[in-house]
Amino acid sequence: MIIGIGTDVCDIDRFADSLQRTRGLANRLFVGGERGLPVASLAARFAAKEALAKALGAPPGLSWHDAEVFREPSGRPVFLLRGTVATEAERHGVRAVHLTMSHDGGIATATVVLEG
């Protein structure tokens, strides 16, 4: 059963400008292995986190660090949920989180499907 769907897009150049302009923004948005990636990959991960929040109904109090995006050895992007995000997913009965991300033509996009 589908519990929620979320999608988001992010203008890569605008996101890069925000990272340059706002000191510490990358550290507030990203954790561990996410940091240090090319800006297009960071923009896609930001879109993924936004899409996840939308799929959960955009509840207040979610921490950016509680949803980490990484790639499996196959290359498939997946979330590691913890803390506030894991609690909200559990509250909704989420059993699986499906994620797809892409970037091209200056735009990064992500879609999340929550399955119960």
d(CA 55, CA 112): 7
Q: Which pTM does this prediction carry?
A: 0.95
Q: What is the pLDDT of residue 101?
A: 98
Question: Residue 56 is part of which domain span?
Answer: 2-115
Concatenating the DSSP letter of every residue in 13-70 gives HHHHHHHHHSTTHHHHH--GGGTTS-HHHHHHHHHHHHHHHHHTT--TT--GGGEEEE
When divided into structural domains, the chain yields a total of 1
CATH code for the domain of 21: 3.90.470.20
Tokens matching residue 18: 């925000």
Ordered per-residue pLDDT tens for the chain, 116 residues: 999 999 999 999 999 999 999 999 999 999 988 988 999 999 999 999 999 999 999 999 999 999 999 999 999 999 999 999 999 999 999 999 999 999 999 999 999 999 99
